[in-house]
């Protein structure tokens, strides 16, 4: 029981964050405790499953899983998956068909988080990152080799979960998500240090690297619930828009966040040549700021402390952050609008509230 209570730590701290962390509450008018309420019991089961060794009997694998999931994480993906599953349980047209979240929905939420965690562990190797969630990354703390193995292990756990769901359509959706994650990573690598303003490339990369997985979680529950195509499609749109919103805010946090809050070095994206929405707005606007920023990027000055500080200041002082946040807000409204097809429910209300939570998050 002690190990189980340890596993609960993340969830408990998450659900009480707004009351125990005034600084967080001050910056976020959305209470995560309220958002979690409709699926609180189910989220506890998700935490338990995440560290359940499905691969073999070795305690070593269980230990590795514990280490990864006790490092924390926002658990946005399983939350979206469970809320969307619950919000699509009833079909107003034919009265109430289902009334409970099943074991399959829990597994769906778990595998969505497993894939996310696996891709983070491998991304940290690919990007040679040294901190994540305020802790040393696996590749930094140990080495690339263990990080490769751990990522593979998480993907394997996800595959075993996926097999247990026994739904070929859902298998297809997640198969494509794995492809999108790789494809998004490749696009990102190929766009490094490019100063061409290509919004389509930015959105495509963001959808593949982030939104595709969130969208999979958001609409696969409705597929398991045998909901009509238009309900499934609406939840997919919700997930994609929420995911894009999440990614844009993440990109903004590279400019406005503190290492203390985000657990990542400020300006890290820019240093790595990753040109995101705030910078794209400045480059698109033209004039002296665009010319200076393009030069800082092209000459790789953003890889130095002085260069990155200059670029960050330039983008901040010319409204790049505000423009990116306004973009995220517009996409967030589209995410909410997609939910109009669903009957009102506490879960639907949480899905709407989650958009606002994502928009104002500071970590």
The site for its own copies (CB under 8 A) is made up of 54-56, 58, 60-61, 122, 125-128, 144-145, 148-149, 151-153, 155-157, 159-164, 166-168, 171-172, 174-176, 178-183, 185-187, 190, 208
Q: Quote the least distance from Cβ 232 to its own copies, whole Å.
A: 17
Q: CA 191 to CA 195: how far, in whole Å?
A: 9
The answer to whether 130 and 140 are in contact (CB under 8 A) is yes
The answer to whether 357 and 34 are in contact (CB under 8 A) is no
User: Is 111 or 275 the residue whose CB approaches its own copies more closely?
Assistant: 111
Q: Quote the least distance from Cβ 341 to its own copies, whole Å.
A: 27
Q: Quote the least distance from Cβ 344 to its own copies, whole Å.
A: 34
User: Is 5 or 60 the residue whose CB approaches its own copies more closely?
Assistant: 60
User: Is 172 or 343 the residue whose CB approaches its own copies more closely?
Assistant: 172
User: Is 4 or 186 the residue whose CB approaches its own copies more closely?
Assistant: 186
Q: Which has the closest alpha carbon to 153: 116, 109, 118, 107?
A: 118
Q: CA 172 to CA 174: how far, in whole Å?
A: 6
Residue found by looking up tokens 């595709």 in the block: 212
Q: Quote the least distance from Cβ 153 to its own copies, whole Å.
A: 4
Those residues whose C-beta lies under 8 Å from the C-beta of residue 184, and which sit 6 or more positions away, are: 204, 205, 206, 207, 208, 209, 210, 212
User: Is 153 or 338 the residue whose CB approaches its own copies more closely?
Assistant: 153
Name the E strands within the chain. Answer: 131-132, 135-136
Query: What phi, psi does 345 have (nearest 5°)?
Result: -165, 160
User: Is 25 or 171 the residue whose CB approaches its own copies more closely?
Assistant: 171
User: Is 167 or 301 the residue whose CB approaches its own copies more closely?
Assistant: 167
Q: Quote the least distance from Cβ 289 to its own copies, whole Å.
A: 32
Q: CA 150 to CA 158: how far, in whole Å?
A: 12
Q: CA 234 to CA 232: how far, in whole Å?
A: 6
Containing H/E element for 89? none
Q: Quote the least distance from Cβ 109 to its own copies, whole Å.
A: 17
Q: CA 300 to CA 216: how far, in whole Å?
A: 37
Q: Quote the least distance from Cβ 190 to its own copies, whole Å.
A: 7
């Amino acid at each position: 029981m002690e190990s189980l209570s340890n596993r609960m730590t993340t969830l408990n701290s998450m659900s009480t964050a707004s009351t125990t962390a005034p600084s967080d509450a001050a910056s976020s008018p959305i209470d995560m405790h309220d958002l979690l309420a409709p699926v609180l019991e189910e989220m506890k089961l998700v935490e338990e499953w995440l560290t359940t060794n499905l691969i073999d009997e070795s305690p070593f694998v269980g230990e590795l899983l514990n280490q990864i999931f006790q490092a924390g994480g926002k658990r946005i993906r399983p939350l979206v998956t469970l809320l969307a599953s619950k919000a699509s349980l009833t079909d107003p047209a034919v009265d109430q068909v289902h009334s409970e979240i099943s074991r399959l929905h829990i597994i769906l939420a778990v595998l969505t988080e497993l894939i996310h965690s696996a891709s983070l562990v491998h991304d940290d190797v690919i990007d040679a990152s040294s901190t994540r969630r305020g802790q040393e990354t696996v590749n930094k703390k140990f080495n690339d080799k263990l990080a490769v193995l751990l990522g593979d292990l998480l993907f394997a756990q996800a595959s075993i979960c996926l097999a247990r769901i026994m739904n070929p359509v859902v298998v297809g959706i997640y198969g494509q998500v794995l492809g999108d994650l790789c494809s998004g990573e490749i696009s990102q690598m190929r766009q490094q240090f490019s100063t061409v303003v290509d919004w389509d490339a930015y959105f495509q990369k963001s959808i593949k690297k982030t939104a595709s997985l969130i969208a999979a979680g958001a609409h696969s529950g409705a597929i398991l619930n045998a909901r009509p195509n238009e309900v499934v499609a609406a939840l997919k749109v919700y997930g994609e828009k929420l995911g894009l919103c999440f990614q844009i805010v993440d990109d903004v946090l590279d400019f406005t966040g503190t290492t203390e809050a985000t657990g990542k070095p400020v300006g890290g994206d820019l240093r790595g040549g990753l040109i995101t929405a705030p910078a794209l707005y400045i480059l698109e606007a033209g004039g002296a700021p665009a010319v200076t920023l393009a030069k800082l990027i092209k000459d790789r000055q953003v890889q130095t402390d002085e260069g990155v500080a200059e670029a960050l200041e330039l983008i901040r002082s010319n409204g790049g952050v505000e423009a990116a946040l306004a973009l995220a807000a517009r996409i967030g409204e589209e995410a909410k609008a997609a939910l109009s097809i669903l009957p009102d429910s506490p879960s639907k209300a949480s899905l709407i509230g989650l958009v606002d939570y994502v928009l104002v998050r500071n970590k």
